Amino acid sequence: MSLAAPIARTLALALLAAVVLTPQAFAPLLQPLVTNGAPAIYTQTSLLALTVSHLELVLASILAAFVVATGLAILVTRRFGADFLPLSRSIVNVGQTFPPVAVLALAVPAVGFGLAPTLFALFLYGLLPIFENAVAGLNAAGPPVMEAARGVGLTPWQRLWRVELPLALPLIVSGLRLSVVVGLGTATIGSTVGAPTLGEVIIAGLLSGNTAFVVQGAVIVGLLAVLVFDALSLLERRLALPRRG
């Protein structure tokens, strides 16, 4: 097995920890990006606090999307729920129809500023990849497998929990991976409506013309996305390995 991937993973994690925990150490590197004596490091809010808040926001919204999308996928892959597939696809596509800024603009009058509109926007954006992958995964158990499950006396719900879902897990995790990575990037716009995310650093840099702030926020979000993508890819590969009985 190549050592390149574990080394790169460790370096990315170490860099993320350093940028978040000791940002002042990077001031000499970022100083050339600022003018007129502006600060090179964002200090108005702790980068660690913003990173934690950013992650919590994304995880909460994607967890809700996972529950709803997987539940819908289970429903429409049952014989009694197959007729609801077109309606379910229309529901989960709503988030992809409107840009996140538009969702935020529509949500703010209803729920106010802060976390709520951002959670709603991320929830909508996370539905489609999880739903489509879950449907594909649950349909992957072909007739021979299902007939064998029936032959050993498994009930419909036992077939779901012991056969279909285990076979579908790699594809479900793949959809979850895409939703989380997209959510990590999209969450930055939540700061435009008062949500405490890493977008605060990027927006502060854009408003003040301070490129160093923009770089700090973008680097942290990028490293988070890379590490989460890598972790979920590893999980997906492990779940896809043939089980030895």
**The predicted structure's pLDDT at residue 215:** 95
pLDDT (tens digit per residue) in 72-101: 999 998 888 889 999 899 888 887 787 777
Q: Is residue 40 part of a domain?
A: no
CATH number assigned to the domain comprising residue 219: 1.10.3720.10
Q: Is residue 144 part of a domain?
A: yes
Q: Of 185, 215, 193, 184, whose CA–CA distance to 202 is shortest?
A: 215
**Which stretches of the chain are DSSP H helices?**
4-21, 27-30, 47-76, 85-92, 94-97, 100-111, 115-138, 143-151, 156-159, 165-186, 199-208, 211-240
Taking the C-alpha atoms of residue 136 and residue 87, their distance in angstroms, rounded to an integer, is 17
Q: Is residue 159 part of a domain?
A: yes
Q: Is residue 35 part of a domain?
A: no
Question: 197 or 36: which carries more pLDDT confidence?
Answer: 197
Q: Is residue 179 part of a domain?
A: yes
- What is the count of structural domains for the chain? 1
**The predicted structure's pLDDT at residue 199:** 94
Q: Of 165, 164, 134, whose CA–CA distance to 150 is shortest?
A: 164
Tokens in use for 120? 């709603």
pLDDT (tens digit per residue) in 137-169: 888 876 777 778 777 777 878 888 888 888 899
Asked whether residue 197 carries a pLDDT value surpassing 70, the answer given is yes
Q: Is residue 92 part of a domain?
A: yes
Asked whether residue 245 carries a pLDDT value surpassing 70, the answer given is no
Q: Is residue 205 part of a domain?
A: yes
Q: Domain range for residue 189?
A: 49-239
Q: Is residue 19 part of a domain?
A: no
